[in-house]
Homo-oligomer: A and B are copies of this chain.
C-alpha cells in the first residue's frame, strides 16, 4: 500500500479547514469543522487537529498507512523548520512543539507554517503567482496578512517574523491600529479598518446598509459584496479608502523589493470580485517608480479559500 495521500489543514481561531490530496495533487476529500473560540489549552487545539485528521481518515476511508504527510497552517509566529508555534494571536500556543506532538500521535511526518505565508506559497506553487520568482502577497481579511517569496523560496526573515505588511505605516498621524501604531495599512484596508470607518460615518448620522454589521466588530464579506452591488455610499467610501492605502502599500513594496508579481487574496478580495484590483491598478502608478512598475504584475489570488490548503501541500517534502 503506497503512501500516496497528503492531509492538509488550515487552522483558524474558530474553524479548521481540511483537505486530502491524492498523488496527482487533486483534492479527494474535504472537511470543515468549527472549533471553540479562545481560552482552550494547547492540548485542546492539538486534540482538535487530531480529531479532524481522524474524522477525515474515517470519512474518506483512507488508512493512516496510506498517508505520506500531514501539513497545517495557523496564524502566528511559527518556526517552520522545527515545527514549533512560537506565538499565535488567536490560539493558545506559546513555544509549542506541535510537530513532535502530532508525529508521536500518528507516526506521520508533520509540517506547519504561518497561514498567510503558507497561503502565498500556495499561490506561488499552484495559483496566480505560479512561474514567478519574487512574489509579494497581501491577504485582506479581519486583519491584513502578508507573505513574501524571494528567489523562489518563502522568506520568513529573522525569527520567522517577516512580511507584516499590515503594519507598514502609511501615515504616522493616521488612525490607531490594533497593534498600537498609527496609520498602519491594516488600520485602513482590513475589515477592521473599513469597519471602523463605517462605524465612524454611521455614528455621525449617515445611513449605511452596513451599520448593524459593524456595530460590535467587523462586517462579514457577504454584506460588503451586497452593499457594493447596491452602491451604498459609506461602504463605497470605505472601499475607496482601503484601496487607496493598498495602492500606496503596494507601491512601497514594489519600490523596496522589485517583485515579479503582487497578488491580492483573502476573504474581502474574494467577495468583492475585481473591485479592489481595479481600484488599486487605477492608482498604483502614482506610488511606485515608473522604471520598477514596468516589470511587475498585479493580480488577484487564484485559489480562493484554498490558497492556504494548497500552500500546506507545498510545504511537504
Instruction: Mark A residues whose CB is within 8 Å of B.
Output: 77, 87, 133-134, 146, 148, 150-151, 155-165, 167-172, 179-181, 244, 248, 251-253, 255-260, 286-292, 295-296
Contacts and interface: CB of A to CB of B under 8 A. Distances in A.
Contacts of A290: 180
A288 B157 CA distance: 15
A77 B255 CA distance: 13
Contacts of A289: 161, 164, 167, 179, 181
Given A248-B172, A287-B169, A163 B256 contact: yes
Given A134-B157, A164-B255, A165-B256, 17 more contacts: A87-B291, A133-B158, A146-B256, A150-B155, A156-B258, A157-B259, A158-B259, A160-B258, A161-B258, A161-B289, A163-B256, A167-B289, A169-B251, A171-B171, A172-B287, A181-B251, A253-B256
A163 to B, nearest CB: 6
A131 to B, nearest CB: 13
A298 to B, nearest CB: 13
A180 B255 CA distance: 13
Contacts of A171: 170-172
A64 B161 CA distance: 49
A257 B171 CA distance: 19
A179 B286 CA distance: 10
A181 B258 contact: no
A158 B296 contact: yes
B167 A255 contact: yes
19 contacts: A77-B291, A87-B291, A134-B158, A158-B259, A158-B295, A161-B258, A163-B258, A164-B256, A164-B258, A164-B292, A165-B255, A167-B255, A167-B289, A168-B252, A168-B255, A169-B170, A169-B248, A170-B170, A172-B248
